[in-house]
Amino acid sequence: MPPIILMSDPDVARIPVQECGEPLVDLRELPFVVVDSRQADAEGAYAHLREGVAWRLARAARLLPDGLRLLVTEGYRPLALQIEYFESYAAELRRDNPDWSEDHLRVQTSRSLSPPEIGPHVAGAAVDLTLCTAAGEELDMGTRVDASPEESDDACYTDAPNISDAARRNRRTLCAALTTAGLVNYPTEWWHWSYGDRYWALMTGSPHALYGPKETVS
């Protein structure tokens, strides 16, 4: 696999943000995706995305083969939840790798969770999703959504070689639709796609991000 730029890379943090002020929209009110409740929070934040990201999901949905739909598991993630997830995973890795430096720990944690101040989910710019049939049956994608590198033997990486041919075809179908619609993938997580955030800007050569965090780290 080619070198992967992680969320912890300083080049991501250096991308300036010119906040465009787009609102969050509720995907549960829109017809083009299925919204799954496995990552639901009490306020329903998980089902929201910036309007421009939602438009692009609508385009991606129209590009899928007949009989397939996008199944969204999480969009916007409140800052407090991002901090909780990041610190919990970092603590797990620290326990299992006591010789790691704090800098290396941050890098390794960012394979699965963005540093909170960078997080595309915190900006409402990222969506975790998979494919399902019209009847709601999820397709084989090689791992579950949100699988860590440790539990999946790195099969969570989008271009992982250690998945079945069927899973690889399904990932390619998902990637083709979302890439054509203008979203970018985080290569350590086949399910994570974003538009308008700092990572998207770096990957596409945009001079600035369109969406910044809805809340800031104090």
Q: What residues act catalytically?
A: 189
What DSSP string describes 204-218? HT-SSBS---SS---
Q: Who's near 159: CB < 8 A, 6+ residues apart?
A: 1, 187
Q: How far apart (Å, rounded) are the C-alpha atoms in residues 166 and 174? A: 13
Binding residues: 121, 128, 192
Q: How far apart (Å, rounded) are the C-alpha atoms in residues 213 and 84? A: 16
Nearest partner of 52 among 217, 210, 218, judged by Cα: 210
Binding residues for Zn(2+): 121, 128, 192
**Share in percent of the chain as helix, strand, coil (round to 5):** 35, 15, 50
